[in-house]
Amino acid sequence: MKNKHFGKVAVLMGGISAEREVSFMSGEGVLKALLSQGIDAHAFDPAERDMSELKREGFTRCFIALHGRFGEDGTVQGALELMGIPYTGSGVMASSISMDKVMTKRIWRFEGLATPAWSQVSSAAQTRAAFVQLGSPMIVKPAREGSTIGLTKVTALEQCDAAYALASQHDSLVLCEQFIAGDEVTCPLLGDTHAPQALPLIRIVAPDGNYDYQNKYFTDTTQYLVPAGLPAGEEEAIAELAKQAYQVLGCRGWARADVMIDAVTRKPYLLEINTSPGMTGHSLVPMSARAQGMSYEELCVNLLAHTALDSAGSSGSARTIA
């Protein structure tokens, strides 16, 4: 059978995070692609089945199509490490840090990488204080969620209480962040920590500049521009910034760095990095790969070929725990 060397592959999808719905969309796309390439792939929802069944049923690799907490944050990665089943994407520590936007920004700032000013808050009063400090507009969002879930763009002090209340429904850690007005771009990355490859940048033009959950996944009005159409030299500089962001966090396999470009200074600012990016029909990594001549199916096989374990030290290698 074609690609039989991959063995029995579990596509992890669903899960228990707020991004469960999107995870199914990603996972079903990946599953179909792997099956089309002759890979013995099976859907596996950790919310419905115990993770120990992966080892008991003889799975040899996992393609992680989970998004958000309990999937993208190092927890599933740790379970797979214990079972000795190689998986796609970053390891335990890089996954955990990258899921926490505050920790990510602290590391980037320490390493001298530009990221918007921010404040971590734990009350509505602190959110109001952050607004006075950071200015208008200000973004208020959960520190450990994705897909713009629980996010509010605050333009007046009286909006702070409601913004904090919404974000804190999803996470006890809430991030207030300076809003950077300008072009929004994303840079997909593939490869190991030390030598990542940047795929073509995508410039995102959302209706009224509102790239929210609905406009990300369920409408066709958002424009995705590949090539990004940036001024000469900017695309290369942003790709280099994204590579550095990936490297200092210890990411591997793949990720997607989101960047805002200040409209006045043209300075790029790192917003966050996703270590288990979406693979839906609207998703950006497949779109960027396609612009470089890599099909969705080829991308999925490429990612699967680079499954790894922290404890093994090399991509695609397996280790069995007795």
User: Catalytic pick from 19, 73, 171, 235?
Assistant: 19
Instruction: Assess whether 302 carries a catalytic annotation.
Output: no
User: Catalytic pick from 87, 164, 217, 269?
Assistant: 217
Instruction: Assess whether 317 carries a catalytic annotation.
Output: no
User: Catalytic pick from 23, 147, 168, 276?
Assistant: 147
- Residues contacting residue 285 through CB under 8 Å, at least 6 positions apart: 188, 199, 254, 256, 277, 278, 279, 299
Instruction: Assess whether 87 carries a catalytic annotation.
Output: no
User: Catalytic pick from 144, 258, 276, 296?
Assistant: 258
Instruction: Assess whether 21 carries a catalytic annotation.
Output: no
Instruction: Assess whether 236 carries a catalytic annotation.
Output: no
Rounded Cα gap, residues 47 and 51, in angstroms: 9
- Burial pattern 93-118, b for ≥16 Cβ within 10 A else e, equals ebbbbbbbbbbbbebbeeeebbbbbb
Rounded Cα gap, residues 37 and 60, in angstroms: 17
Choose among 83, 125, 74: nearest CA to 318: 83
Instruction: Assess whether 57 carries a catalytic annotation.
Output: no
Instruction: Assess whether 147 carries a catalytic annotation.
Output: yes
| Distances in whole angstroms, Cα of residue 217 to Cα of each of 21, 221, 222 | 10, 11, 10
Choose among 6, 112, 113, 118: nearest CA to 63: 6
User: Catalytic pick from 68, 71, 250, 278?
Assistant: 278
Instruction: Assess whether 73 carries a catalytic annotation.
Output: no
User: Catalytic pick from 168, 272, 283, 296?
Assistant: 272
Query: Concatenated DSSP letters for 286-298?
Result: HHHHHHTT--HHH
Catalogue the active-site residues. 19, 147, 217, 256, 258, 272, 274, 278
